[in-house]
Structure 1
Amino acid sequence: MSILKGILHHWNKTTKSYDTIHPETESAQITDWHQGIVNTLTSDSLLAKMIQKVFSAAGLKYNIEQNGYICFGKNFGGLILQWGNMSVGSGRTEAFSYPVTMSKVLFATANPISGSNGRENNRVVSPSSSECQVYNGSNDTSNMLILLLGLA
């Protein structure tokens, strides 16, 4: 049994010679699959561009940062998932501004990532379309994770 293998020759203007490319072994030259899917959305590869076009056509928008969001678009009823973190002093209430404004907040919670003894004393107070107040009822400063679910 024989296996057909392809070899591509590409003219390199800089060296004025042919580069030999073996597609089955040099996937790094044509895709980013060798790096894994995690880096796909931030690269400029063909696969990343295709995924971004599919997200765009479906109405999905995202920002995967420390304070980020995923807008699921009209196909999902305009659902938005947002998150962020901030430090809140003991017994204090601090304002948290959303990455994206929402017409309606469905769910909001604040949980300590570090530094808090009592989770039951932390809460989100009076969420609006663009910000909420985060209260830290514990006896020490806490790094809080804020999660929000709402509609565009």
Structure 2
Amino acid sequence: MTLRFFAIPACDPVAAEAELNQLLAASRVLTIDRHFVACGESSFWAVCVRIASGPGPLPEALKADQGSARRVDYREVLSEADFAVFAKLRELRKSIAEADGIPPYAVFTNEHLAIMVRGKLKTLDALGRIEGVGPGRVDRYGARFLALLEQALAPA
């Protein structure tokens, strides 16, 4: 793996942009990190590109970064009753994502939904303790998901 760093001036980016684009087109890019550094007329984008070395397969540790991690079939992992609740949570997630114009995983991931079901969560605090669920998600979506969980898990 190789790291390449670029400083792309905000006022005159053409030369640095061309160099970066040439590298991106010719390389197997693993990740790109960028940050804007505000310094008036000297402002620039700081860009770090992580490139795979050689033509071989990706290192196992990086496969998750590329979205190629093994997918979990929650129908096999959850009980039939829990999977039914999981499916309802996915429907809610899909409708929220479509309304907000974002991908469903930006609301909650499948793993987050499975944890909600398995843990039979009832509070916003419990929801916020799930790894990867920050205060923004809890505030924006938590009440709707907990209401559905409460309804779905209520005894018949």
TM-score range, shorter chain: under 0.3
Higher strand residue share: 1
> Computing the radius of gyration over CA atoms, which structure comes out larger, 1 or 2?
1
Higher helix residue share: 2
User: Scaled by the length of structure 1, what TM-score is found?
Assistant: 0.25
User: Scaled by the length of structure 2, what TM-score is found?
Assistant: 0.24
